[in-house]
Amino acid sequence: MDKYGYRFSFGPWNIHEGADPFGPPVRPARSFDEKLASYKTLGFDAVQFHDDDAVPGLDALSPAQIRSEARAMRQKLENQGLVAEFVAPRLWEHPITVDGAFTSNDPQARAYAIERTKRTADIAEELGTDLMVVWLAREGSYLRESKNVLDATHQLLEAINAILEYHPRLRIAIEPKPNEPMDLAYIPTMGHALALGFQTSQPDRVGVLMESAHSILAGLDPSDEIGFALAFRKLWGVHLNDQNGLKFDEDRSFASVDLRRAFNQVRVLDENRYWEIGLVGLDVKAMRTQPFELATKHLRNSLHIFLQLVEVSRTLDRLKVQQLIAERDYEELDWLILNHLMGKG
Ligand code: 3MF
Ligand code: MG
């Protein structure tokens, strides 16, 4: 924990081999244990998991075997002084989910997705976390006419209800994203995710996770997406990163593209005492060009810039801001913010 009370997390996929759709890995893989060993050194307290990060090959294991492997993983975490922040079902890699998971046209795929997510809930329980993050990777369409959006919406609701019923204490945070891998996703924004959650059988147990790059890809401002969810006490996680415009999901280091946009995310989180609500999760990738031994600097950069922006937010002259708002002198307020961001004035 840092001096402000924030705790930080990332997922093992954030230390990666640099492959992209056009080229092979450019760095050797680090073993899971090596990755785990780097958390504390880098200043992190918690691990974000996909179900198969915690229990590799779980589709071939029985529920009892899955639980026992998850318990062994919890021991590994404890040995490093780490905790699990959340577990997310990886529903987008099995051949049966080629056209979607919860919303596939194939009933077998839908059944697989719900069963797999129940195993994810078991893993979360064994790892000692009550939080599941659901990124709806393949719930959307490549071709509008191939699916029925009303059916899909009800299928998503039924799937979430089934998981809520299966596990009585689990909280589910939906992570919206507008596209990639699908052309058009069914749950593209915070508003969609919150609406879905409010409509479930147990709305108190469904919230959201906001990823900066996903908001930007939807043409929205991440700090407003954060604030909208906070207003309903539904922001249960964040994936801070950055994104250079409307293109593929870049997962750039936090603040590396737009410092002011990052400042506003930190400002809204900090003004609302987010350190008491959730962890500061990152979802960042090192550039493909980064040599193997230097491929964790994106994590260092993101964490430290976050903390520096907390300081920047707390040292902002709030009285002056109030005065300029009262005078409706937003040009002067703009000037104040820009100078403050540059360490002047
Ligand atoms: C995709 C993502 C994912 C999710 C992760 C946990 C690989 O754009 O952001 O990261 O965050 O699956 O839900
Ligand atoms: Mg993410």
Q: How far is the CA of 146 from the centre of ligand 1 (A)?
A: 25
Residue owning tokens 């640099």 = 18
Q: How many CB atoms lie within 10 A of CB 63?
A: 12
For 20, 272, 334, the CA distances from 325, given in Å and listed in that order, are 46, 20, 11
pLDDT computed for residue 245 by the predictor: 96
Q: How far is the CA of 135 from the centre of ligand 1 (A)?
A: 6
- pLDDT above 80 for 159: yes
DSSP per-residue codes, 149-200? HHHHHHHHHHHHHHHHHHSSS-EEEEE--SSSSSSEESS-SHHHHHHHHHTS
Q: Tens digit of pLDDT for each residue in 64-89?
A: 999 999 999 999 999 999 999 999 99
Q: Tens digit of pLDDT for each residue in 87-103?
A: 999 999 999 999 999 99
- pLDDT above 90 for 14: yes
239 CB near ligand 1 (under 6 Å)? yes
Contact of 120 with 272, CB cutoff 8 Å: no
Which of 165, 184, 166 lies closest to 176 in space, CA to CA?
184
Nearest CA to ligand 1 atom 9: 283
53 CB near ligand 1 (under 6 Å)? no
Q: What is the mean pLDDT of residues 99-118?
A: 98
Q: What is the mean pLDDT of residues 17-43?
A: 97
Contact of 184 with 145, CB cutoff 8 Å: no
Which of 19, 99, 49, 15 lies closest to 279 in space, CA to CA?
49
Which of 298, 308, 321, 172 lies closest to 242 in space, CA to CA?
298
Catalytic residues: 50, 53
- pLDDT above 90 for 3: no
- pLDDT above 70 for 151: yes
Q: How far is the CA of 148 from the centre of ligand 1 (A)?
A: 25
Which of 111, 119, 153 lies closest to 136 in space, CA to CA?
153
Binned at pLDDT 50, 70 and 90, residue 1 comes out as low
Mean of all residue pLDDT scores within the chain: 97
Q: Which of 85, 129, 135 to mutate to test the pocket of ligand 1 (most atoms within 8 A of CB)?
A: 135
Contact of 277 with 265, CB cutoff 8 Å: no
Nearest CA to ligand 1 atom 2: 135
* Rounded Cα distance, 329 and 332, in Å: 6
Question: C-alpha angle 216/86/291, rounded to 5°?
Answer: 65
Contact of 314 with 342, CB cutoff 8 Å: no
